[in-house]
Amino acid sequence: MKKRGMRTAGFRSGIGCITALAVGVLLDPPQAHAQVSVFKSMEKSDSTFARWLSGITLTGQVEGGIMANPARPQPGYNFGDFFADHANQVQLNQAEFTLQKAIDPSKGGYQVGFTLEGMYGSDARYYQILGVSAHEWNARYQLIPAQAHADVHLPWATKGGLDMHAGILQAPMGVETLDPTTRPFYTIAYTSEYSVPFQHIGAMFNWHVTDMIDVTFGLDTGNQTSFGRSDNNNAPAGYFGINLNNLAHGKLNIIELSRVGPENSRYSSAGGRYEADHAERFWNDINATYAVNDRLTLTGEFNYIHDEGLNGIRSNGNFKAADAESFVSFLSYKINKVLTFNYRGEIYRDNNNLMVATFIGNNAYMDGISGRASRGDALMPGPGGHGTTYGEMTLGVTYKPDLGHHVRVFMLRPEVRFDRSLNGTTPFNGGRNNGMFTFGGDAVIGF
């Protein structure tokens, strides 16, 4: 559904680039400015609008990384990996800038804000929106409006009030996000790639019912689609869910979020326009985070996705369904002020071998969203047969010192990852193996 490897000299050169970046920053930190307040001089103005302008901030960050694969797969891709898909090659994943006027629900009252985020890099290939930025670029590095939304806080109905976000939104479902500073690893889980949506055009609402309960709901045009001919079908989709906050004396938070709506394209569905408009996709994700103590945090995520029409149509005219279920566990242990150990373990069952694939062409992923036909060598599908159970374990550390010198964030994250098919299929390393070993990591710096 949803190249070959470089020579050894190129691989060593890539490692050298990452090392040089890290050492250069540590020894001679750049003279950036941490979270620039664009109109700071207006914060004491008598004008309400001028004081509002004084809260606008500008931030930016850059992320690059590499995941080495000793098997040197042909073609040169790490199967099932989006952000580090090019084996043994350094990638500029993200260079992004965010202009923002944040709202703060804890302050109450009416508030108006916005978020504008532009991003360039290899990650952008997967976060395009049809009719906005998709298919405008043919290169590995692409440009997207990662976020562009208006934000409003309304002190209605309850003490906590209601937050509304409308425009281009990053999907709220799941534990791991596009922002590398909010997740523990460079790579992400199968669940985060194949079983949660990425981007929307629409509106999301967060109703703060009590200090312990938030209700989330929203309506949009579909996953990574816009309006009219740029939508892959003629039906909307939407979210509903609940957050339980500060349970167990503030140590436990639980988030449940569900989504329903047609997501298949009228141009590629076996049943054409009717299937695209009527075959519903059901996304369900629940995760819980428990802070055992000041050092140790545990997170568990369960996800189930079911699509009524992705598998085509039976001879009697009924839809054939496709689905996947998964469980992901995370452990984070803070060793000291700057060093954190991280673990991730996952079981992902692709029941019909229709979810997991590797998108070799730079636009192959968005071709799948839109229903466009891609070249045969632009997509590396999963194994044939009735299904594959994927297991994945990742170990790593995050080195995150406070560099000062106006550097907002600096992170080095080496990791080791092992993927395996648990039921004998051979999806990895060009279809040669039932397992794949990769190692590498990324560096992030931001002001």
Quick: pLDDT tens for 350-404: 999 999 999 999 999 999 999 888 787 898 888 988 899 999 999 999 999 999 8
List pLDDT tens digits, range 39-50. 887 888 888 889
Strand-pair partners of 119: 96, 144
Is pLDDT at 146 greater than 60 in this prediction?
A: yes
Query: Which CATH number is associated with domain 38-446?
Result: 2.40.160.10
| CA dihedral over 390, 140, 377, 313, signed as positive or negative | positive
Q: Mean pLDDT throughout 419-430?
A: 94
**Confidence band (pLDDT; 50, 70, 90) for 313?**
confident
Place of tokens 């109905």: 157
**Confidence band (pLDDT; 50, 70, 90) for 34?**
low
Q: Which of 417, 409, 428, 431 shows the shortest CA–CA distance to 63?
A: 409
Domain ranges of the chain: 38-446
Q: Which of 14, 19, 35 shows the shortest CA–CA distance to 412?
A: 19
Q: Mean pLDDT throughout 169-177?
A: 97
Q: Which of 28-37, 229-238, 413-422 has the lowest mean pLDDT?
A: 28-37
- Residues 6+ away with beta carbon under 8 Å from 297: 289, 290, 291, 330, 331, 332, 333
Q: Mean pLDDT throughout 202-207?
A: 98
pTM here is 0.89
> What integer pLDDT is reported at residue 178 of this predicted model?
96
> What integer pLDDT is reported at residue 71 of this predicted model?
95
List pLDDT tens digits, range 261-300. 999 998 887 777 888 888 999 999 999 999 999 999 999 9
Burial of 244 (0-12, 13-18, 19+ CB in 10 A): middle
Phi, psi of 14 (to 5 degrees): -65, -45
Q: Which of 174, 115, 112, 180 shows the shortest CA–CA distance to 146?
A: 115
Place of tokens 């981007």: 199
> What integer pLDDT is reported at residue 385 of this predicted model?
81
